Structure 1
């Protein structure tokens, strides 16, 4: 059975800090998984314009 998971990218300005699942990013940045997912929404991105970190959904990965 194949399972897919959402992959995110974290940027500071133009620099890619990391790619991974919400769980991997939350652990590395010491934040909640829900925060990673919320920061990737279009509404949060508009609201957080000019913030240091930006989280973007890249797509789904099958494993």
Structure 2
């Protein structure tokens, strides 16, 4: 994962918002499917980000846990 922006900065707030959005999208997806069956592509699409953006914020899908 890339370096986390300094606390209380606009960049840090955006960083945290994106990570939270991905986690929310994942929780919605696991209502219909098993976490182990979800792909990073599905999670990223549900969160409205690209697959490469997902990997900017998380090492892999298990990093969401």
TM-score past 0.5 threshold: no
Under TM normalisation by the shorter chain, which class is it? 0.3 to 0.5
- TM-score if structure 1 supplies the norm length? 0.36
- TM-score if structure 2 supplies the norm length? 0.35
Relative CO higher for 1 or 2, CA cutoff 8 Å, sep ≥ 6? 1
Name whichever structure is richer in helix by fraction.
2
